Amino acid sequence: MLKRIWTIFIRDLTVNMREFMTLFMMVIPLLLAVGINFLSPGINDTSVNLALIENENPEQAAYFDDFAHIELFSDKQRVEDRVRSRDDVIGILPKDNGYFIMTQGNEPESVLEYAKLLNVLYESDVQLEDARSEIIEFGRTVPPLKKMLVNILLLLISMLAGMLIALNILEEKVDRTVSAINVTPTSRSAFILGKSLTGMAIALFSSIACLLITGFYNINLGQAALVVFSTTILSLLIGFIQGLNSDDVMEAAGSVKLLFLPMAGSIAGYEFVKGNWQIFFYWSPFYWAYKANDMILSKSGSWPQLILFIGIILVICGAVYALLAPRIVKGLQ
Amino acid sequence: MKLLSSFKKELILASRGFYFYVELVFALVLLAVLLFAIPQNFSSTSTEYLFFNLPQEGKGIFINNILKDDLDTKSEMVEVEASGKTFNAELIVTDESEIYIVDSEEAVRTLADSEKVIGAVIELDDNNQLHYKYYLQGYESTRLKNLIFILQNESTDVLEERFENQDVRPLSTDYEPLTDRENTIPPLIAFSGSLMGMFIMASYIFLDKKEGVIEAYAVTASSVWRYLMSKIFVVLLTSVVSGLIIIMPVMGFRINYGLLLLLLLTTGFFASSLGLLIASFYDNLVKAFGVIYLLVFLLMVPSIAYFIPGWDPVWIKIIPSYPLLQGFKEIILPNGNIAYPLITSAGFLAVGIILFTITNTRFKKTLSV
């Protein structure tokens, strides 16, 4: 049986590799990883955007540049136009005895307070050279937002693998290959499992590659591979259920959309819901996968914790399988 | 008439399918999330760990100053755990932060490290001057570090007084901010309603391609564009219904529904035409999946900028979902700018028409791919 599954997997992989699509599916997560690298420094450097008049006070502009993003404009009207634009830019303009702060009126309070504080510090002649403070760093270089985006990407890769498996099975169903397998020595389960291995292999390859591209080469890649593997089993299960129970591509597409809900909800729950309220997300394997990935990316977890999280994911998957086994068997017929 | 007839047929077919109801269920779930899971306003309290390595009197002055901002002007003794150790702390909760005053530098270092927050030790230097030691994670930007570096150069009382006396001149004062719950609506409608049309439209076409419907149109009195347009109408209808399900219970009658419908329809038309165009290049959904996946990701990037006020680079503004999000935001904002959603709608309609024309030509030429 294992040999047949392996043969189907190798055949499927060879066939898929000839297609542009499979390579495309492997390349897209890598492009997204490059995109995350491109986005995160800019987002992390976000403080406040200030608009000033060019050459009005070069010393002031240089001072603010140490603490905020500065844009210079030729006159007051242009500063006002910039402040009126859709993003949050605060103008600092001269008046008779000092400077005033020009706002559009709709900026978040934190943005306005930051700008006010900078103007106070400048007016008080507070200089970096006179600092009485010392900064000690823990040496973490990956900002939380980048970690979050990479974690989301890892979950999406697993989801994508599941969707691919679902769509592959659906195609085989439409082509009636699943029924044709009945007259061969290979069982239907072995055929389906063999076909699913390609999706899992792609998920593992893409996840590890994305982690390396985004600079997470110091984490425990073995732990990460385990989480990806368990999440892909989840996606595989969902893919099976979708693929086998959908009669056409529209049904599968609808299911894909529904699938995003527990995933997005689990991520939002983990990131934004505090303390004991997180208990409401314990049912979701995506929650545990996200939590496990977060632990690995932060390099803060231990093996027993990780095994616990993976165990929970697998138990939930097992429970879902036990619940839906009759439908899966029926779908294979 | 033929278009109307095609639309009716498509609608009947869609109402018999699973997808039509998925859309409605999805919208209801999103509504439930909005009403019950997302608070009116997120709590944005930060956590700080402080250690005052000062004589008792100096420590008392600092703590009393912080206590003035405490919600009940009382502190509470608590135990905090980190890295397998337990530390005693005095907890002061203000509007903006939870401040834990601990009794050793080791506690500050351990807690700041394990909880990934800022920790600070305030002590006296050799000249009996206050010296501030901050524990940061390392990923903070240089600009933020600079600010932290100089924040204590001047007396807090002096800074506070000057801060309160800053001359702030807003260009407009009739602005009312959205609550966090209301602010979440534009991304939900944009992605669930308008942009998913791209994916759904492509799926519809691949289904019909498989069944040879498009070739069949070559021998009927109806034209391909009517067939495509009737499909788009079905997607637009589901998009409008699901959009209204999400927005009406939250916003009530406080917004301009004419504008909302206009933007939903034009952006839905744009997304559907884009989905059609993608579908015209591939013969099944699996093959088109990569392009759709990449596009969905690209279109999601402006939603990051939407939630981060200080990050709004110029290149993000040319991604179509940027004006889409801002357009929906203007519609639900009290005193929002009416011109922006109108111009955005006109832009999406124009681009949608161009995409539709190209797609129609491609389908007419090939009749299948």
Cα separation, A215 vs A31, whole angstroms: 14
pLDDT of residue B153: 81
Contact A121 B154 (CB under 8 A): yes
Q: Does domain A47-130 have CATH number 3.60.21?
A: no
Which residue from A83, A128, A268 is facing B150, i.e. has the nearest CB?
Answer: A128
Query: Looking at residues A137-141, what average pLDDT do you find?
Result: 85
Instruction: Choose among A32, A301, A66, A1: nearest CA to A157.
Output: A32
ipTM over cut 0.90: no
User: What is the secondary structure of A263-316 as a DSSP string?
Assistant: HHHHHHHHHH--GGGGGGGTT-HHHHHHHHHHHHHHT---HHHHHHHHHHHHHH
Residues in chain A closer than 8 A to B175 (CB atoms): 104-106
Q: Which residues of B touch A112 (CB under 8 A)?
A: 168
pLDDT one-digit tens code per residue, B89-122 = 999 888 778 899 999 999 999 999 888 888 999 9
Parallel/antiparallel/unpaired status of strands A49-53 and A89-95: parallel
Query: B346 is in which domain, residue-wise?
Result: 2-39+180-366
Query: Would you place residue B369 in the very low, low, confident or very high pLDDT band (cuts 50, 70, 90)?
Result: very low
pLDDT digits (tens, 9 = 90+) for A220-266: 888 888 888 888 777 777 777 666 666 665 566 666 666 777 888 88
Q: Which residue has the higher pLDDT, B253 or A159?
A: B253
Contacts of A291 (CB under 8 A, 6+ apart): A270, A309
Sole residue written with tokens 């290959």:
A177
In a domain, residue B29? The reply is yes
| B138-166: average pLDDT | 86
Per-residue pLDDT tens digits for B220-236: 767 778 888 888 888 88
Summarize pLDDT for A6-24 with one digit per residue, the tens.
777 677 667 666 666 566 6
Same domain, B51 and B91: yes
Min Cα–Cα distance to chain A from B175, Å: 6
| CB–CB contact B172 A104 (8 Å) | yes
Residues B228 and B297 in one domain: yes
Are B168 and B17 in contact by the 8 Å Cβ rule? The answer is no
B172 lies in some domain: no
Same domain, B306 and B228: yes
Give the SS3 label for residue B176: coil
Q: Does a structural domain hold residue B166? A: no
Tell me what the pLDDT averaged over chain A comes to.
Answer: 81
Last residue of a domain, one of B158, B190, B223: B158
Interface test with B, best of A88, A250, A272 (most B CBs within 10 A): A250
**pLDDT single digits (tens) B5-62:** 777 777 777 776 666 777 788 888 888 888 887 777 776 678 899 999 988 888 888 8
Interface list for B 345-364 with A (CB within 8 A): none
What is the least distance, in Å, from the CA of A224 to any CA of chain B?
Answer: 21
A186 Cβ under 8 Å from any chain B Cβ: no
**B112 phi/psi in degrees, rounded to 5:** -65, -35
CB contact under 8 A, A251 and B297: no
Q: Does A7 touch chain B (CB under 8 A)?
A: no
Residue limits of CATH 3.40.190 in chain A: 47-130
């993608």: which residue's tokens? B278
Residue of B97, B98, B115, B149 best to disrupt the A interface, most CBs of A under 10 A: B149
Residue type for A153, please? Answer: L
Query: Which pLDDT value is given to residue A331?
Result: 65
The number of C-beta contacts closer than 8 angstroms across A and B is 238
Q: In what order do the strands lie in the sheet with B130-136?
A: A133-137, B130-136, B118-124, B46-53, B97-102, B85-93, B76-82
Residue A13: its pLDDT value, please? 67
Q: Is residue B173 part of a domain?
A: no
Whether residues B112 and B52 fall in one domain: yes
Q: How many domains does chain B have?
A: 2
Q: Would B123 be classed as within a structural domain?
A: yes
